[in-house]
Amino acid sequence: MPETPAKPPKKTPFSDIDLNRWRDYGDVLTDSLWFFSNRAKGEGHQLDYHGNFIPQLATQLFTRYTRQDEIVLDLFLGAGTSALEALNMDRRCVGVELKAELVEYVAGKIPPSDLGSRVRLLQGNSVNPDIVSRLREELRALDSDFAQFLVLHPPYADIIQFSDLPEDLSTLSSTETFLDSFEAVVRNGYELLAPGRFAALIIGDKYAKGELIPLGFLCMERMKRVGFKTKAIIVKDIQGNEKGKGRTANLWRYRALAGGYYIFKHEYIIVMFKPQ
């Protein structure tokens, strides 16, 4: 008998996943509760900067929401997880980082042949409106008017102070000031994201003066205020990846029992989209 011709790939406009072969993607998560037992290492990734998210998040998000050669825009680049994983997955990346020494450090991780041609790094303040025109130049250098995916991994307010710079979101005096600055970053990212495409907010919550401050949901509301719509809220287990819990868990368990609160073991990945 003649062989049945293979079906042509069936893909969405935002992913290379072939829906005709959906059973073959067992490593792609589709549930809203994510567990990772450790941080992926290798291919440029290492735990070299407190606060950088684990590479597996970038792998999952880029698989679901980008296609080969598309551009990821990261407005809080940090130690460069987005840029490294974009290269590993044959995507491109434009990243903005406030700290000049960190931009230089990330540049040293990128192969010289890719720096400038597939990854473009910009030192600047993502809060300022003038960053948009600078980023448009970076995107045009990659022959595109828009990014196809937006990563937002801001400081979790003032939990960890990343610098002494007054414009650093981790140094701001109040939650409301933090949210106002975050919203300004979101507005800039919204302008640069292609219509119909997705953004991911990676963030956790905080306690202050005995009260839980739900940063994840507060930031989500600021994104909705700008124009984003919510696609998914994913809860990710952070056990084994968090720091600052002391030498043992017993002290924190005692404090939790005494104070009536619960110890954070999660953070959020909130997926939003820009309407057509």
Flag whether pLDDT at 1 surpasses 70.
no
Q: Which domains does the chain have, with CATH numbers?
A: 28-273 (3.40.50.150)
- Could you report the per-residue pLDDT of 159-214, keeping only the tens digit for each? 888 888 888 888 988 999 999 999 999 999 999 999 999 999 999 999 998 899 99
Flag whether pLDDT at 238 surpasses 90.
no
So what's the pLDDT on residue 130?
96
- Could you report the per-residue pLDDT of 33-79, keeping only the tens digit for each? 999 987 767 565 665 656 678 999 999 999 999 999 999 999 999 98
So what's the pLDDT on residue 242?
47
So what's the pLDDT on residue 167?
86
So what's the pLDDT on residue 244?
47
CA distances from 237 to 14, 69, 126, 245 (A): 27, 30, 28, 15
Flag whether pLDDT at 5 surpasses 60.
yes
- Could you report the per-residue pLDDT of 111-133, keeping only the tens digit for each? 999 999 999 999 999 999 999 99
Flag whether pLDDT at 248 surpasses 70.
no
* 76 vs 95: CA distance, rounded Å: 7
Average pLDDT over the chain, rounded to an integer: 91
So what's the pLDDT on residue 170?
86
